[in-house]
Amino acid sequence: MNTSRNQAIEKSIPAWLTLLLATACGIIVANLYYTQPLVGLISSSIGLSAGSAGLIVTLTQIGYVVGLLFIVPLGDVIENRKLVFTALVFTAAALTVAAVTKQATLFFIASLLIGMGSVAAQVLVPFASYLATDAARGRVVGNVMSGLLLGIMLSRPLSSLVADMFGWHAIFALSATAVFLLAIILLKVLPARKPVTNTTYATLLGSMWHLLLQTPILRRRAAYHACVFATFSLFWTTAPLLLSGPEYHFSQKAIALFALVGVAGALAAPVAGRIADRGWTKPATGIALATVIVSVLLPLLFQTRSIVGIAALVVSAILLDAGVSANLVLGQREIFSLGPDVRSRLNGLFMAIFFFGGAIGSAIGGWSYAVGGWNAALWIGLVFPVLAFLYYAMEKKRS
């Protein structure tokens, strides 16, 4: 029986295609996070104040939310391969602008457009779920999402190292080249998928509000992840400011090494996918949310510049990334089980809501750090996952 099940999984999506989709998602979504460890460098270069520095990350995330609401739903009506190709060429062009400009306004516009085009990754994730069997959907989504999460986590150390060697503009030039090549590869090798839904774009967008109102699982999972992602964005926007400041004097290479340890958290994604396939989503969600809470408490409890304080920051980064990674996969596994004909729209709504939470976290993080320092940012960051856990506890009791 196990043999036949494995054959069904293998037949549903080849291993090489899963690897390609995971790699593609990682390359694409990394564009949203290259600026996080470079906030200080970029803001001083383009003449931004400390209180406005968070906008560098926030505008990219807002662009991503716009793309999730207005571009990703097209995955339910337009041939997916062509949609991905168009979005990636658009992204490569915006990255090229960011690579050559030194003007704040032009950089902000490019950041917004980079975010919009990078939603191609969220067309590819439902694409992978279409190819997977029901029994293997959590595993396939978990594996693809692990690639996406690795892209998020590796983007920070990569951009720090590239900026240290060649300046901050270089990471955008490098990414523009990689994204353009990826667009050509995906156009050539991805199987065609023309959705069967026959509707107008206006009707498609109008249906999203109905889906949000009529899908309690979507609202619940989006609320959970909006809260933990706000904390995630707040932490990774302010931690580089702390480490590069007068307390630690970390170089860009040292900040890159710190960001690199968070990569271990991506291991939680495929594990969460397998747990979801076994029907253990509810308890796993509670553990994921609690992990995020603990990750914020650690640096609040160990406030010292000694090796103990640095170790607490490292453990905090790993736990934060693991909790957020696990919660994301658990949420997507539930949402992708709702219906193949609305999967792109459901995913777009889910991602838009929680990325809006991330944009709020980035903006509040930059402001709170400028006003009250690291402590103020952490206390605000703690509020979000606590609210998510309280909501989770009430939902669990009601169930």
Q: Is the pLDDT of residue 210 over 80?
A: yes
pLDDT, residue 7, reads: 41
Given pLDDT bands bounded at 50, 70 and 90, which one contains residue 1? Answer: very low
Q: Is the pLDDT of residue 36 over 90?
A: no
pLDDT, residue 3, reads: 45
Q: Is the pLDDT of residue 322 over 50?
A: yes
Mean pLDDT of 5-13: 47
pLDDT, residue 355, reads: 81
Give the rounded percent of residues in the chain with a pLDDT score beyond 90: 35
pTM of the model: 0.78
Cα of 157 vs its chain's centroid, Å: 16
In tens, the pLDDT along 212-263 reads 888 899 999 999 999 999 999 899 888 888 888 878 888 878 888 887 877 7
In tens, the pLDDT along 347-369 reads 888 888 988 898 889 889 888 98
CATH superfamily, domain at 11-398: MFS general substrate transporter like domains (1.20.1250.20)
What is the secondary structure of 102-158 as a DSSP string?
--HHHHHHHHHHHHHHGGGHHHHHHHHHHHS-TTTHHHHHHHHHHHHHHHHHHHHHH
Given pLDDT bands bounded at 50, 70 and 90, which one contains residue 54? Answer: low
Q: Considering the chain, what is the average pLDDT of its residues?
A: 85
- The structural domains of the chain, with segments of one domain joined by +, span 11-398
Which of 129, 119, 123, 68 has the alpha carbon at shortest distance from 94? Answer: 119
pLDDT, residue 51, reads: 61
pLDDT, residue 173, reads: 97
- 251-265, 286-300, 302-316, 369-383: which has the minimum mean pLDDT? 251-265
Given pLDDT bands bounded at 50, 70 and 90, which one contains residue 40? Answer: confident
End-to-end CA distance of the chain: 33
pLDDT, residue 184, reads: 97
Tell me how long the chain is: 399
Q: Is the pLDDT of residue 288 over 90?
A: yes
Residue type, 387: L
Given pLDDT bands bounded at 50, 70 and 90, which one contains residue 2? Answer: very low
Give the rounded percent of residues in the chain with a pLDDT score beyond 70: 92
How many Cβ atoms from other residues are within 10 Å of residue 7's Cβ? 10
d(CA 139, CA 222): 21
Residue type, 52: S
In tens, the pLDDT along 104-160 reads 889 999 999 999 999 999 889 888 877 767 666 677 877 887 788 788 878 888 998
Q: What is the phi/psi pair of residue 248, to 5°?
A: -115, -30
CB 166 within 8 Å of CB 293: no
